[in-house]
Structure 1
Amino acid sequence: MSIKQDNKKKDPRAHVILEYTEEYQNEVIEMISHIQTKEYNVAITQEDQPDLFNVKNFYQTGNGNFWVALYNNKVIGTVSLLDIGNQQVALRKMFVKSEFRGSEYKVANTLLNHAIEWAKEKSVKTISLGTTPQFLAAHRFYEKNGFIKIDMDQLPFNFPVLSVDKMFYQFRLA
């Protein structure tokens, strides 16, 4: 999935979504860590997120996957689906660099739609997610895109709740 790019000048809205490969590991870890700790002051370290050091085995199995949004071959966003069984997935690692956020660029929309289409192709029934109270724009984004706010006790029994997760959303595909 990509947006057309004018050959004469670089269009910052022109980005491409690709499946994660290890060549993007350092950029992904740096971008996510920066957003979490510097922009939103979330008390989480890289070491608290071993999944980022083993994306292939953690996310890219079963109905799960991990994608990067690239602009000029640089990582500007990520999204992943973690297979949690019973045709359910957890949406994780949804991050976009600050300069590429918003309706002008639609990077988050493109990433989310890509993940939802993947889930549909895999006959997934629900996509659940946990987030922090600080991510107010993310809450609005998920709600605008059809996610319903739910209580923690409405999550699938096998949903991996992170210590920073205090708010939960769900998207039903079937």
Structure 2
Amino acid sequence: MNSPTIDIKEYSSKYQSQVLDLILQIQQQEYHIPITREDQPDLLAIETFYQKGNGNFWVAVANDEVVGTIALLDIGEANVALRKMFVAENYRGKTLQVSSRLLHQAFQWARENAVHDIYLGTTQQFVAAHRFYEKNGFVSVTREELPDAFPLMKVDTKFYHNTTPFA
């Protein structure tokens, strides 16, 4: 089987329904997290919520299908929150490197936009994601160490901070 060509693209509204379907499927079916579309109004307003200031949103696309997402949310003072990092199960791992390519895109954007710090919140269930973040320079922090402007999600219980690529 040939590996599909995967392009990392800035989000545009033509990807709206695919982004929503991918994220909800991973959250609800794969990880059984009780979160709904209504709990995530940002997914219905990606351009106005993420694509402003030092923020942006990207999709990984294979054969016109969204197979991954990542976002940076500008939270002020040269800080951003990494949000909505999701990769379809069949596209995870070292072979296709979708997660690494998405994160690299976010890091590159952060450097180009003079971002100093990236923070993120995740759930305890995403153990493989924890390892991925730690391999890419994120260190675990307590909730109290987050900037005041960090957007807390009710499902987030584990937090990370990264300054490595930007200092």
Q: What TM-score range do you get, normalising by the shorter chain? A: over 0.9
Report the TM-score when normalising by structure 2.
Answer: 0.97
Identity of aligned residues (%): 52
Secondary structure in structure 2 of the residue aligned to 1:48: coil
CA RMSD of aligned residues (A): 0.9
- Aligned match of 2:27: 36
Deviation at 1:73, TM superposition (A): 1.2
Inter-partner Cα distance in structure 2 for 1:105 and 1:11: 8
User: Within the alignment, does 1:165 sit opposite 2:156 as a pair?
Assistant: yes
Q: Does 1:24 align with 2:2?
A: no
For residues 8-64 of structure 1, what are the alpha-carbon distances to aligned partners after superposition, in whole Å with 9 as ceiling and x for unaligned? Answer: x8423x201000000000000000000000000111001100000000000000000
In the alignment of these two chains, the number of paired residues is: 165
| 2:113 paired residue number | 122
Off by >4 Å, runs of 4+ in structure 1: none
| Distance in 2 of aligned mates of 1:105 and 1:31 | 18
For residues 46-57 of structure 1, what are the structure 2 equivalents within 5 Å?
Answer: 46-57=37-48
Structure 1 counterpart SS, 2:129: helix
Per-residue CA deviation, residues 102-151 of structure 1 (Å, 9 max, x unaligned), is 01110000000100110010000000000000000000000001100111
Pick one of 94, 97, 104 that aligns with 2:88: 97
Aligned AA (1:92): R
Q: 1:108 aligns with which of 84, 93, 99?
A: 99
For structure 1, the 5+ residue unaligned runs are 1-8
Q: Give 5+ residue unaligned stretches, structure 2.
A: none
Contact 2:3-2:96 at 8 Å conserved across structures: no
